[in-house]
Structure 1
Amino acid sequence: MGTGTIRHMALFTLKVPADSREAQAFLKDGKEILSGIPVVRQFEALRQVSAKCEFDFCFSMEFANQEDYDSYNNHPDHQAFVSERWETEVAKFQEIDLLK
């Protein structure tokens, strides 16, 4: 285990109902913006289906290594999405970073 690939997952619940148009727009915009960052691989926007989890959605993506992950975190498109959308539309979240 441990090839250097990092899987980053952000589980979250929005301030609006999960089945609303606003939620769908957030997921669509997040996918377009975040997957457009060159170091992001395998981006997925997922809907939670387990009653055991308190979150409604997940953004999952991979990075080749820690350097790429750091580049993503510092990328202006990521930072803008966080400040303009994430911080205003997300009610709660949990981030998980795993080494593959």
Structure 2
Amino acid sequence: MKKGRIRHMAVFTLKSQYDSAETKKFLADGEKILSSIPVVEHFEVLKQISNKYDFEFGFSMEFANQEAYDTYNAHPDHQAFVEERWKKEVKKFQEIDFEVY
């Protein structure tokens, strides 16, 4: 990752069962909706493989700069996903934002 870029990650556990249709739909919808926001780059849906950490999934994405990240946060599709899906279906989460040191 180049200096000035931002990597945003949200790690989370859903209220639905790990392999359920609801979980698969949430992950697929999250990818479709959030990756379609023009400033989002390198979107990935991740699953946890370590027993050292108790979050089950992650969304990871990159932004060209702080302005792009702010645009994403204010984007109506992101805000709608948070209100209509995230707040209702996510049991617990942690957000992490990184830039190159």
Tell me the TM-score normalised to structure 2 length.
0.96
Query: Structure 2: where are the runs of 5+ without partners?
Result: none
Amino acid at match of 1:51: N
CA distance in 2: counterparts of 1:35 and 1:97, whole angstroms: 17
After the TM superposition, which residues 15-94 of structure 1 pair with which residues of structure 2 at under 5 Å, given as runs? 15-94=15-94
Secondary structure of 1:49's aligned partner: coil
Question: In structure 1, what is the Cα distance between the partners aligned to 2:42 and 2:25?
Answer: 20
Output the aligned Cα RMSD. Answer: 1.2
Between the aligned partners of 1:93 and 1:82, the Cα distance in structure 2 is 12
SS for the counterpart of 1:53 is coil
Aligned to 2:96: 96
How many pairs does the alignment contain? 100
Residue 95 of structure 1: CA displacement?
A: 0.2
Q: Which amino acid aligns with 1:46?
A: L
Moved runs in structure 1, 4+ residues, more than 4 A?
Answer: none
Give the fraction of aligned pairs with identical amino acids, expressed as a percent.
Answer: 65
Residue 13 of structure 1 corresponds to 13
How big is the shift at 1:2? 6.6
Once the two structures are superposed, what CA deviation does each residue of 1:1-46 show, in whole Å capped at 9, x if it has no partner? 9711000000000001111110000000000000000000000011
Helix, strand or coil: the match of 2:33?
A: helix
Structure 1 residue runs without a partner (length 5+): none
Tell me the distance in 1 between the aligned counterparts of 2:2 and 2:46: 25
**Local SS of the residue matching 1:93:** strand
